[in-house]
């Protein structure tokens, strides 16, 4: 029996993970709506499910991970028209930027990355099923809407009653609806919209609503029912609520067994988002901080908790990560596979099996550092490197991290540093300790810390 427990939003409790098929796990995560650069809030979401993906695989599951791309939506259309470019040009460009950013952060690619525009036929089939079951209707304005009050379980994910809810429309509330709670499945084409966002259907030309996209892509790639569906907490309602209504309404069976939602990134106690204009893009932050420092900063918080963004917190993460790498610089890890029976590994696994508790897992890494520093054990250094690797950390050579320059900052080059260290060595040989100390101080002022070794050699790292 699995030891893994996952907090299921639908159950509002941690539940033991029992996959639908033994040894296999199928997971769908709502990805980016591609019209701009990804910000740190997006990084937090993708990082959360990257860690879940990694831990499921480390636990021996054969994982099928789907993370979609929304490449047709009102904001995308507006941005492309404003830019005077095609929607395909806009979404292709920003998809490439997203892949660059996620790659820098060590976020593994999903097994499938479907684009919504490639699944319009599946969306139309799904809408037809809903219409046949009395759950969809075409309004006078040509839009096809979902009849929310005809689906008895609507509101079960968000825990809201029908009387508490408002329309699930993402942009404009449609006056052609029979009920303000109804949401659009198929948007009738408008003359002002580009031809590339118009598809033929039995209801006339149009394009899919946002919610139907994920239902169709998830079903096409994972089946009518699958194990895990994830996304940001802001998607719980209306997006995920509407997905349940669509998929369960069409197929008459449970859509997802475990609903997983990550918490927000906050700045000055407000959710970081494009709509509020209080966000930092991943690219902006990468100019100031090493990519692994950003990853470490995100993982030090539990995925469901709020994450407070600040340069101070990132600086603290850099210092902490430096401590981990410094231990491996001092004691080389012996070759060999990770020993999951070793005490630290057992504690690490217990933490990760407890709803992917990365803060506790990282605390285990620091306990290992203490032991490595104390006993100079190459076996424990191997455990440190191996366990951190499960989280996508400590995968570089220690000196590569410790000596890495960050972003666009102008910093001392490695050749100049080596030359200064050599000059200091000559000064020490000549017993000119004043010059030796001055060189050390000059390097420190340039952000370079020297570490003298017992054998007379000198290592360096950036402050």
**Residues in binding site for ATP:** 274
First to last CA, the chain: 47
**DSSP annotation string for 53-86:** HHHHHHTT-EEEEEE-BB--SHHHHHHHHHHTS-
CA-to-CA dists, residue 308 to 95, 104, 272, angstroms: 27, 21, 10
DSSP-derived pairing of the beta strands 144-146 and 183-188: antiparallel
3-state DSSP assignment of residue 393: coil
- The binding site consists of 30, 214, 239, 243, 274
Residue 170 contacts residue 212 (beta carbons within 8 Å) = no
What the block records as the tokens of 66 is: 């789907």
Q: What are phi and psi of 37, to 5 degrees?
A: -70, 145
Torsion of CA 339, 323, 299, 109, to 10 degrees: -70
Residue 211 contacts residue 238 (beta carbons within 8 Å) = yes
- The binding site for Zn(2+) consists of 30, 214, 239, 243
- 266 forms beta bridges with 271, 308
| Separation CA 226–CA 219 (nearest Å) | 9
């Amino acid at each position: 029996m699995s030891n893994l427990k996952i907090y299921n939003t639908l159950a509002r409790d941690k539940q033991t993970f029992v996959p639908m098929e033994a040894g296999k796990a199928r997971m769908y995560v709502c990805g980016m709506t591609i019209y701009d650069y990804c910000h740190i809030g997006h990084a937090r979401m993708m990082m959360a499910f990257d860690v879940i993906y990694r831990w499921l695989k480390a636990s021996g599951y054969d994982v099928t991970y789907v993370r979609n791309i929304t490449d047709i939506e009102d904001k995308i259309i507006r941005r492309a028209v404003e830019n005077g470019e095609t929607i395909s040009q806009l979404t292709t460009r920003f998809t490439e930027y997203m892949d660059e950013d996620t790659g820098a952060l060590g976020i593994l690619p999903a097994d499938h990355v479907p684009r919504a525009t490639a699944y319009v036929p599946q969306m139309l089939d799904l809408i037809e099923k809903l219409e046949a079951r009395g759950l969809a209707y075409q309004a006078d304005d040509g839009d096809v809407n979902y009849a929310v009050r005809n689906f008895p379980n609507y509101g079960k994910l968000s825990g809201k009653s029908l009387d508490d809810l408002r329309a699930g429309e993402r942009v404009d509330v449609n006056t052609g609806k029979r009920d303000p709670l109804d949401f659009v499945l198929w948007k009738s084409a408008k003359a002002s919209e580009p031809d590339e966002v118009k598809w033929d259907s039995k209801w006339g030309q149009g394009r899919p609503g946002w919610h139907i996209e994920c239902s169709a892509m998830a079903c096409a790639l994972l089946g009518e029912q699958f194990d895990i569906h994830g996304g940001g907490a802001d998607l719980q309602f209306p997006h995920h609520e509407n997905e349940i209504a669509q998929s369960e309404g069409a197929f008459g069976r449970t859509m997802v067994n475990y609903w997983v939602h990550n918490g927000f990134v906050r700045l000055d106690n407000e959710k970081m988002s494009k709509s509020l204009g209080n966000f930092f893009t991943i690219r902006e932050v990468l100019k100031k901080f090493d990519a692994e420092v950003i990853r470490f900063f995100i993982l030090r918080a539990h995925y469901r908790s709020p994450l407070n963004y600040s340069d101070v917190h990132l600086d603290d993460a850099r210092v902490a990560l430096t401590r981990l790498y410094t231990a491996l610089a001092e004691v080389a890890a012996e070759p060999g596979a990770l020993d999951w029976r070793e005490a630290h590994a057992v504690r690490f696994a217990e933490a990760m099996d407890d709803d992917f508790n990365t803060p506790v897992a990282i605390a285990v890494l620091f306990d290992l550092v203490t032991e490595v520093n104390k006993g100079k054990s190459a076996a424990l250094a191997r455990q440190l490197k191996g366990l951190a690797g499960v989280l996508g950390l400590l995968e570089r050579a220690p000196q590569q991290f410790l000596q890495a320059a960050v972003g666009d900052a102008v910093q001392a080059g490695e050749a100049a540093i080596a030359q200064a260290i050599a000059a200091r060595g000559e000064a020490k040989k000549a017993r000119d300790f004043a010059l030796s100390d001055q060189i050390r101080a000059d390097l420190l002022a340039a952000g370079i810390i020297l570490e003298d070794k017992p054998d007379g050699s000198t290592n360096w790292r950036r402050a």
